[in-house]
Amino acid sequence: MSEHENQKPGMSRRNFLKNMGLTVGGIAIGGGVTSLFKPESNTKDQVVNAGSQHVHEVVSNDAALTFFKRQEDIDTLLAAIEQIYPTDELGPGAVELGAHIYIDRQLSSQWGINSDEYRKFPIMPFESALNRGDLIIAGLRHLNEVAMAQHEKRFRDLDDEAQIAILTAFQIGEVQAPNFSPPIFFAILRSLTIEGVYCDPMYGGNKNMQAWKMREFPGAQHSYYNEIEQEFKVIPPNSVAGH
């Protein structure tokens, strides 16, 4: 079943993910687990170098699990980000764009341990002591806890409406949690998803600049000196590496 057949309007997120082989019932093992991190056909992507006519083979780096360890967390993440930026008639959603790869790498980077922030004590009650990585894990697990409590199912097994309802409850603070703020968790997750969708492809998301194409965003162009006075037009996108 080709990937594009999954983009019919009305296809639910849950079915889409299932058909992509990205969710596994029961205990996660084998190809179903790793298929979400590797393209089905091969493990090498081919990249045309903008500066020359050669085709370089680049080993796919989709296989990296640099931050996440627990399959259930990954399952919840995929389902949540696909609700934040779904596949639709306009084109691919967060998962197909590789936003989960982006997020995984961000959380295992310095940013994931908040090395850019002032972290000194005392931490007041209204502040969070968790770093971003810990906060995302806590939030994803709590999504699952709430799903189990409300529906006796895991978050990834709920239908769209139920997933959206739970995410909304987190966003507006209708859900409580003992050691983190659900609205802050949601805001960071949303932010990471948007970044993972629209980032320069070298970060792992925005695969093949597909999101930029949907958005009619030209990416990293050298100059608009000749375009600045003109009406809008679509310009094929360019990545930073294409410079």
Partner 1 sequence: MAIELPKVDVVTIGAGWTGGIVAAELTKAGFNVVSIERGEDRGVQDFRYIHDEIKYGSRYGLLRKLNKETITFRNNAEGFARPLRSQIFNVTGDGVGGGTTHYAGQMHRYFPYDFELRSQTFEKYGEGKITPDTSIRDWGITYKELEPYYDKTEKIAAVSGEQDPYAGDRSNDYPLPPLKKSPALRLFEEATKKLGYKPFSIPGANASESYENPDGIKYNPCQYCSFCTFYACEYGAKADASYMLFPVAKRTGNFELRTNCEVRRILYEGDRATGVLYVNVITGEEFIQPADIVALTSYTVNNMRLLLLSKIGRPYNPETNEGVIGRNITDHHFSLGAIGFFEEKKFNLYAGSGVLGMAFNDWNADNFDHSNYDFIHGAQVEIRQGGITPIGTNNVPAGVPNWGKEFKQKSIHYTYRTLRVSAHRASLPTRTNFVDLDPTYKDDYGDPLLRITYDYNPNDRKVAKFINDKAEEVLKEMGADIIQQYPYVENHPGMFMYQHFGGGVIMGTDSNETAVNTHLQMWDMQNLFVCGASAFPQFGSTNPTLTVGALTYRSTEKMIEILSSR
Q: What are the Cα distances from residue 137, in Å, to 107, 161, 180, 241? A: 10, 23, 11, 32
Please select the residue that binds partner 1; options are 42, 150, 235, 236, rule is CB under 8 A: 235
78 belongs to the binding site for partner 1 (CB under 8 A): no
CB of residue 147 to partner 1, shortest distance in Å: 18
Q: What is the DSSP letter of 108?
A: T
125: which strand partners?
none
CB of residue 45 to partner 1, shortest distance in Å: 20
1 belongs to the binding site for partner 1 (CB under 8 A): no
Please select the residue that binds partner 1; options are 199, 207, 208, 210, rule is CB under 8 A: 199
Task: Decide if 50 contacts 242 (C-beta within 8 A).
Answer: yes
53 belongs to the binding site for partner 1 (CB under 8 A): no
Residue numbers 117-136 binding partner 1 by CB under 8 A: 117-120, 122, 124, 126-127
Q: Which residues contact 20 (CB under 8 A, 6 or more apart)?
A: 3, 6, 35, 36, 95, 96
233 belongs to the binding site for partner 1 (CB under 8 A): yes
Tell the burial category of 16 from Cβ atoms under 10 Å away from its Cβ (0-12, 13-18, 19+).
buried
238: which strand partners?
219
Residues lying near partner 1 in the complex (CB under 8 A) are found at 83-86, 88, 90, 93, 111, 115-120, 122, 124, 126-127, 164, 167, 171, 190, 193-195, 198-200, 203, 211-212, 214-225, 227-233, 235, 240, 243
